[in-house]
Chains A and B, each alone.
Chain A
């Protein structure tokens, strides 16, 4: 078993209204960052996992996303494994 740190990014699904991202976009425009286009806001989680391989760590993390960390109705997720 080795220690892995899994980085998990959870984002509101692209088709759905993201009022938090919009609010940040408006604030950036108000500060003069006229070059800013769409802003989307999500969650970033770092999960330490004991696993035999990177693949196993990633698979377990995806199961965690499916069961708890992301809402399948409204969110998409991305999993990336770093060696701990």
Chain B
């Protein structure tokens, strides 16, 4: 059982769903308030979606300077697993823990609907129970989801296989190279625009997102998710 810290900022609104998804996967998940600097021996830290600090100035720009981010940065620098979902992804980019930035959707509209994404990297703490090339349906809910990097950084990301998820078919926000999620060069810091925590059980319309959280609990990186479910069936209890 891994200890998973879910950071709560003023304006976070996916914190409860994220905590539930981590618990459903078998983790010992708990909240850490943005003013706290103690992650309580977390094995993994998740920055949830929402509108931290009202998205003032730029999405994630103010949250980046909250006290808890010092602890998250130290955890990341030490190789600890960090996942940023949606606004959490924006915060990780603002903090410089992930390359690039998230800008206004190309067609300006706030989009809240399911999209298709492909898993392009399975050697991260949050994707190791997926198959490379596997296509998933995950919901998006963002206005500032257009991932932008300069051409040189994009080439580096591709060469280093740091693109973890990519939109297939329709790119909803105009992101560079159809990128939906990336990881750091150390592969321990991961950001994703869609919301895996909103699709982790059949009652939510599907469970394509469940293995993001189950990956943390998987001891054997090569274990297939089907075996994982057969072993413990944890998230089917939800």
Contacts and interface: CB of A to CB of B under 8 A. Distances in A.
B106 A17 contact: yes
Contact of B103 (A16, A23, A68): A16
* Chain A: interface size category: 10 to 19
Given A68-B65, A73-B148, A23 B108 contact: yes
Interface in B67-102: 93-94, 99-101
B94 A71 contact: yes
A74 B106 contact: no
B148 A16 contact: yes
A17 B104 CA distance: 9
Contact of B101 (A20, A43, A69, A73): A73
Contact of B61 (A17, A19, A68): A68
Nearest to A16: B148
Given A71-B101, A74-B148, 4 more contacts: A19-B106, A43-B57, A73-B93, A73-B100
A20 B104 CA distance: 8
Contacts of B149: 73
Contact of B107 (A12, A19, A43, A68): A19
27 contacts: A12-B103, A16-B103, A16-B148, A17-B103, A17-B106, A17-B146, A17-B174, A19-B104, A19-B105, A19-B106, A19-B107, A20-B104, A20-B108, A43-B57, A68-B61, A68-B65, A69-B57, A71-B58, A71-B61, A71-B94, A71-B101, A73-B93, A73-B99, A73-B100, A73-B148, A73-B150, A74-B148
Tell me what chain A mostly uses at the interface: helix, strand, loop, or mixed.
mixed
Interface of A: 12, 16-17, 19-20, 23, 43, 68-69, 71, 73-74
Interface in B139-158: 146, 148-150
Contacts of A17: 103, 106, 146, 174
A19 B93 CA distance: 21
B70 to A, nearest CB: 15
A25 to B, nearest CB: 13
Contacts of A19: 104-108
A19 B99 CA distance: 22
